[in-house]
Structure 1
């Protein structure tokens, strides 16, 4: 899959809406690349055949830091693995826990990923609350915060109407601590000013709306909880004033803040309109495949399956049983280390399949210390790949197509006109020595 386009640094490195956790098998680059590719597909075939992920990972993965733990990696967000974009893109395109990717290549070598879980990031308010709880236990931090709060309130001309606030605090009852406060002030009280920041007034009605949107169950006393919510709201409004002042005094900060918000917005839109749709829209994938079949050509192929074991004797016994006309039972199959069901192979897809003669029937092979019994069911002539064979490439191409369509729709909906004289003047100014 192609990497999600990097529109700006904020979108790339710090605006991921979630993290993912995956396990991986790494076949490190170096030596014969063709042989390494074949080995990757052979390992993948063993997994598809039912062999334990942990067992395969321990035996084949070159990442010795994780191979003993099933290849489990720490959760990571978008941009965390920017040096290996193929790995990151594949990880974020997967959806179902336990899903195993097809082998794919990066600068490090060949990878196979097992998807473990998505981890939604907590909201900004949840993260703030958690940090405040931890820091709030430190007396020195409390003193510092109080001094800082007083200094900021003075700087931004915070003026409080304490008498009005007392009227609201007096109406805080147990319903507030149960997150069910439905208090409605009388019209005259609701329009009164609670405080002002600079020239901007804030009223009782605004505070009551804030409380009713943000109230949560708590063990605090009702009045204490109402005071806490009031302090949070007041600090929020002072912060707004502070940001506005910074925007006016510092254009770089304004531009950075704008870039941050636009980066988040762009990422969320791209995820919804392109990345998730491309990986989840199976109907769209199949329509795209049908319309572009000629792109997915394959050479000579075979439909085959194989059985793997460490014991050469088991291969001999199984061949003898088949030649007698006996059917293999479930108990017979369980004796093998791995069983790969029938699928279509091209050249270089599997070192095991490449090693046998491509004619119908049973064949023996030995690869990487394992013995294989291969059954070729039929020869498949060159032609268009079936959808399931080409699905990984179809998803990548469909993603590119969706992005092009989306950008075209935006251009049509929001036409851009360029002032050529203005453009020429700007370029001249930027390139002036």
Structure 2
């Protein structure tokens, strides 16, 4: 499980704020560490709706949890876990990760989100011609590519895209491709913008992306396909051991039953091998174009026109399917999609626009002039070795001289010199030394401004400071639990074996049957099947007798089944022989129970996962008792009574 997620779980219920007002009373102490009323009431009010255990909504019960949390933090600090290098490094890494959410320009971000939404509701169909070009191409190469595309643009107007495509596409330097329909975030931002800015039937002027220079030909705009809600019946085509009909034959049998008028939901419950949806009649969560991992499944779903339509059987990467359309919607509202779009914008190439705006804001905040400082000294010491990655700072480099100041922070020549040395590459397009130094300084200044903002975020932004404090405690608690409980429980083989022996009554297989179950929509049919089973007929012989090429009246399912198996009703009697007929899932079933597997003790290996989990809980409970003995907890009853009155209003 993701470590950050576990830390969030730990701190979700116990988020603290250090700042206390002068009238704040102490609710309890752990040794000499005070815990204030404001902290406890804030935590209680914030998380009470998330607590599922009703007993923990009681103030006294919740206080016990909170005291245990504080005891664990006290132990973590006593053990010096907050001084571990790994802890310090991970906290630093998290702060950097978190800070990225605050190092942005919200106005520009909002504009880009709105633009992305407007594009997401309309798909553009386009083709393009690309001339590959390095991002550091010389002016001569850039001009040549631009002029070449102008000529190709004229040819597309006169001859049509297909004719030009067939002649110029080589898959190496020149690409001419049909791109189909796409919407926001499917292409790099510059390309997406050019496509959405070009009218249908028009060809754009040449434009640049990180891949080179393009022209784009727009052939259509259409409303996005929106969202579909479908159910499906799936037969797995990946099973190594098929104990019944092959997947294609089985799905075709089910399709024939649908054609005969049988209920889709009922058949999905009986036969679909997608365990996550079968019990829900095959229903899947709503999805949009591009969201599913199977393009085949998606296209089949979007091809259904009317609610209630059912597809023919088809095969995807995961198995054979039949789909039924339950709902179709257009693109969701802006407010619904805003959060998702915001995350996509941050990860997309358009984030550079946000960064440029942020830098402009930071320059104003910290009063940094747009005029560069005198960089002539660096122009004199950098040479052509820089373009092949061999340049080094001279021995007499004036490292300590101040280059600029951001508030009270002094940035030296040494800082910029190290930046220059670190960012040279073995192969770089040659330019003038002055241009190299100027552009390098601009990149260096951006980095320093963001670094300074990040270093001072806890002072400048209280929200950020609060979340960092939350994570500090959560990270400590995670390390403590991992050391004292989780790893200890997993590696204590003697303790695990003893715990298993002392608690065997908790580790049993439930009663199961090895059975063959026949299902049909018709009671008369299932009664006939029952008679044939009593006559010792096999499932294959029964299917030959009852089913035909065009009519499937009975389907068999076989294997080891417990009381929760999808093929068995709750009232099913676990005894050998031919069962009575049961009405189940809008149909009928009868079973031939070959063997009843009685409730039996799991071996240690079979129960090991559950044993480890239970043993961890056992060790933690005893560990908490030891912490209560180690650290004195003093609760102030009068203050607690005030808190109860306040929280129980």
* TM-score of the superposed pair, with normalisation by structure 1: 0.48
* TM-score of the superposed pair, with normalisation by structure 2: 0.35
| Structure with larger Rg | 2
